[in-house]
Amino acid sequence: MKHDGEIMEILAAYDLTGSLRATAELTGCSHHTVARHIAARDAGRPIGEPAARDRVTDPFLPKIEEWVEASKGRIRADKAHEKLLALGYAGSERSTRRAVAQVKAAWRLGHVRVHRPWIAEPGMWLQYDFGDGPRIGGVKTVLFVAWLAFSRFRIVIPLRDRTAPSVFAALDRCFRILGGAPTYVLTDNEKTVTTAHVAGVPVRNQQTLDFARHYGVTVLTCQPADPATKGGVEASVKLAKADLVLKDTNLRTDYGSFAELEAACEAFMDDVNSREHRTIRRKPAAVLAEEAPRLHRVPETAHTVVFGLSRTVAENTPMVTFENAQYSVPAQLLGARVFVRAHGTGPDEHVIIVHHGPTGPVEVARHHRARPGSPAINDEHFPGTRTRIPGDYPVKARSADEAEFLAIGEGARTWLVEAAAAGTARMNVKMAEAVTLAKIAGFAEVDKALGNAAFHGRFAHGDLASILNAGKSRTTTHSADETRSLTQGTSAWAGLGVTVSTTQKEQNR
């Protein structure tokens, strides 16, 4: 086959000589070749185009087209070759593959979906979707990805699940990051948004309608199984997963905690929103500053569904139950309604409890995840109470005699507890005796004696009086000063050798 330069020389030589054979001699080719190229130029055909030849697959093209149409362009060439062999086809599998590829290309051209460019208006559209996040401590996470259509501003928030409280909390945070709420919010047909489809019409979740009414937005859903209707956020999800999820392409290390994942998402948002977008040729953060005045104002307080599941505090125990475990709340919330949700995963996981009062929502408690049967308790939530220990009985007078005995002091209370534990008999008589001794010897002395009796386990009759008398005996002590000496005198020797009469002895007695 001649290349383009040779063909142009042939045509130029023919225009000069006007003879096929002379041109052939000048260009060194056959006069038939010269005639073919001259005829192609005169007929207006592309010069040098090879002549069409019949192919071995031509008789079977209608059948191949039928198979491609029936399979919606999905039939494999090897399967088509097997079917052709059964019909008497004698060509090679390579010829079959070429024919099938040609027919598939023609079929796709006739069934291709044409997309019209979407021109987004500022402040109108926000799209959000989800992607599988990295595992932290063996627990899966979810990446919430939002995309503001006009400014191309991206937001990525890690979640522990895709329940309504988590999703709506992420949306609330998303609105506050943007500085306002858009007119429309577009997402998939998840149960948090759409409960069912009737005749192709989506039925909205009531919680979603309440949330949308609170923020003044309209929640719409794309066509089922048609991600192209929200292609902007789909691309954002791919970009976020490629950077944040552990892969060989980014060489990321494992996340040690949920807080590390949150920090990584913050860094990702700062990066993608601060560099020039290839479509608008501007930084999304700069465009957002222009779009923000077109967004609607976000309410000061978030919708209650953001705070989690509703729970009622018991009337006599400040505890709430969440996912089969119990958590304490301040005692002043007895009988009140609170909202409970989980945040984070692994060691950073917390259960957050919020109370929505007259002044707005307030976080009243935050606990680590508890297990069923092992409640999470904060002692500050139980003022005026003490931990009950088996065998530690509160001492409380139930009669006037008992009150009079306990009024002696702490020693009396200790004696009562220890004597009862020792199984002391006739305790009421001994308590009355202690009250009588306290009136005579003083309450402080008897209280001390009762404490000593309890310490040494002396609960028999008369033990209290014995301890009390022993405490009163004192040994005379002498002290030396400038006028007195501790040296023993000799006055006691004065009577040695002196005869004493009987009368004097009786007088001395």
Query: Is the pLDDT assigned to residue 211 strictly greater than 80?
Result: yes
Model confidence, pTM: 0.61
Q: State residue 129's pLDDT score.
A: 92
Task: Decide: helix, strand or coil at residue 103.
Answer: helix
Q: State residue 259's pLDDT score.
A: 87
Q: State residue 64's pLDDT score.
A: 93
The arrangement of strands across the sheet holding 218-221 comes to 153-159, 142-148, 125-132, 184-187, 218-221
- The stretch 57-73 carries a mean pLDDT of 92
Q: State residue 376's pLDDT score.
A: 92
DSSP string, 212-241: HHHHT-EEEEPPTT-GGGGHHHHHHHHHHH
Given phi > 0 = left and psi -120 to 50 = alpha, else beta, which region is 331? alpha
Query: Is the pLDDT assigned to residue 486 strictly greater than 60?
Result: no
The amino acid sitting at 71 is S
Spans of all domains in the chain: 4-43, 58-111, 125-294, 308-381, 400-468
Query: Is the pLDDT assigned to residue 31 strictly greater than 70?
Result: yes
Maximal CA-CA distance, the chain: 193
For residue 500, what pLDDT band results from cuts at 50, 70 and 90?
A: low
Q: What is the mean pLDDT of the chain?
A: 85
Query: Is the pLDDT assigned to residue 387 strictly greater than 80?
Result: no
Least confident of 10-19, 120-129, 299-308: 299-308
Query: Is the pLDDT assigned to residue 478 strictly greater than 60?
Result: no
Least confident of 16-25, 321-330, 481-490: 481-490
Q: State residue 52's pLDDT score.
A: 64
Question: Pick from 336, 337, 284: which is nearest to 309 by CA?
Answer: 337
- The stretch 269-287 carries a mean pLDDT of 92
Q: State residue 390's pLDDT score.
A: 64
CA–CA dist 47, 37 (Å, integer): 7
Of the spans 51-55, 285-289, 380-384, 455-459, which averages the highest pLDDT? 285-289
- The stretch 26-38 carries a mean pLDDT of 90
The structure tokens listed for 408 are 């002696």
For residue 111, what pLDDT band results from cuts at 50, 70 and 90?
A: confident
Domain 125-294 has CATH 3.40.190.10: no
Task: Count CA atoms within 13 Å of residue 126 on its CB side.
Answer: 29
Q: State residue 330's pLDDT score.
A: 92
For residue 357, what pLDDT band results from cuts at 50, 70 and 90?
A: confident
Query: Is the pLDDT assigned to residue 503 strictly greater than 80?
Result: no
- The stretch 86-99 carries a mean pLDDT of 93
What 8-state DSSP symbol labels residue 274? Answer: S
Q: State residue 1's pLDDT score.
A: 66
Query: Is the pLDDT assigned to residue 77 strictly greater than 70?
Result: yes
Q: CB count, 10 Å around CB of 404? A: 17
- The stretch 430-456 carries a mean pLDDT of 88
Query: Is the pLDDT assigned to residue 174 strictly greater than 80?
Result: yes
Q: State residue 481's pLDDT score.
A: 65
The residue with greater pLDDT, 123 or 229, is 123
Q: State residue 180's pLDDT score.
A: 94
- The stretch 473-497 carries a mean pLDDT of 59
CA–CA dist 346, 308 (Å, integer): 19
- The stretch 108-125 carries a mean pLDDT of 82
Query: Is the pLDDT assigned to residue 233 strictly greater than 60?
Result: yes
DSSP lists the bridge partners of residue 444 as: none
- The stretch 311-339 carries a mean pLDDT of 92
- Inter-residue contact 34 to 2 (CB < 8 Å): no
Angle at 401 between CA 398 and CA 403, to 5 degrees: 55
Query: Is the pLDDT assigned to residue 270 strictly greater than 90?
Result: yes
